[in-house]
Structure 1
Amino acid sequence: MQSTVEFPEDVIPLFEAALLAPSSFNLQHWLFVLIENKTTIKLLLEDTKLSPDDFTPKYLVVVCGDLYSWRDVDNCSKHLDQEQLENARKKSSIVYSEHPTTQRDEVFRSCGLGITNFLWKAEQQGFNHMFIQNIDHDLIRREINLPTDKVLVDIFALDKNMGKNTQFETKNIDDMLINDSW
C-alpha cells in the first residue's frame, strides 16, 4: 500500500512488515507513530532508563491501538466480495459491539503481532531497539495528540547505532526446542 506521507526510507520496510501481521477480522488495530524530532525524543525520554544525555535514538516508535476499528470493517476488507463483507460486518459487530474487554484484548494482541513483525524486520535491516519503561503516558498522549478513542500500547527506541538490546534475557534454543519427542 502506497503512503501519501513521506517517511524515511530506512523504516518503510519495517512498517510494511508490520502490516502483514495477522489480526482479528483483518482489522489491523495498530497505529504507529514515528517520532524523529530530537527535541521531542529527549522530552519523552527525560525520566526513563534510556537517558537522553547518554544517547538519543534516531527514532521513537509509539504503538497505539484503535479500540473501534471493528466499526470500519470495510476499510480493511477491500479484498472481500459483497457477501463476505456483509458476513464480516455482522460477525465483527457480534464479537466487539458489547464487549469492551474483547475490544481491548484484540487491540493489544494485534498490536503485539504487528510489533513482532516490525522488530523482526528491523533486526534484519540492522536496527537495534529498546522498549521504554517508566514513561509518562499522559505526556506521550499530549505530544502526539493521541485521540481519546485510541490506546497507548507500547513505545520503543530504534537506532542502528544503539547497542544490542540486552533488556531481556532469552532462553538458549536447547532449553526450548525438543526434537521428535520428550
Structure 2
Amino acid sequence: MLLGYARTSTLDQQAGLEAQHRELAAAGVEKLFSEQVSSVDVARREALESALDYLRDGDTLIVTKLDRLARSVAHLLQIVDRIEAKGASLRIMAMNLDTSTPTGKLMLTMLGAIGQFEREVMLERQREGIAKAKAEGKYRGRKPTAREKGDEVRKLHAEGRTPKQIVEKLGISRASVFRLLKEEA
C-alpha cells in the first residue's frame, strides 16, 4: 500500500499543503496523513506517528520533500529505522529516492547530512546577525512580560494566593512566578 505524509509548518501555508496533497495523489497514494505543525515540535506530530504506526510489511511511505519529514539526519535515520523495522520503505518524490534499494539508502543519508549542514550554517548566520544587531543597539529581543508583573506577583503572594492561582490570574508561567518570588527573598 502507498501511504502519503504531507506537512506544513504553519496554518498560513494552506496552498503548500494542498500542493503536497495533489502530488501525493498523482503518485497513487491510497491513504494520506496530513498535518500543519512545525517539524521541531515532535511531540505534536500526530499524523506522522499515525502514518508510521499504520505502515505494514511491503508498504511505502511517500513524502514530496525530505524537509517535510525530518528535522535532522538523526531524526531522519530514526524514522527510516522505524519504517524498515516494519518491512516498509520510504520514497521522497523530489529526489526520486527510494530506500528499498541500497543506493537509495546511501543517497538519503548523504542528502540528509547536507540538509542538516545547510540548516546549521543558516542558524549560525542568524546568530551572527543578531549579535551584530545587538552590538549596534538595533536588537533588543522580546519584551520581558513576566518581569512587568513582579509587583502584582508579590502582592498576590502576600495576600496568601498560591503560585497556581497567581499563574491563572496573571497569565504567566509557573517558573516566572517562582523566579520573581525568589528575587524578592
Calculate the TM-score normalised by the size of structure 1: 0.26
Which one has the largest radius of gyration?
Answer: 2
Task: Name whichever structure is richer in helix by fraction.
Answer: 2
User: Using CA pairs below 8 Å that are at least 6 residues apart, which structure has the higher relative contact order?
Assistant: 1
Calculate the TM-score normalised by the size of structure 2: 0.25
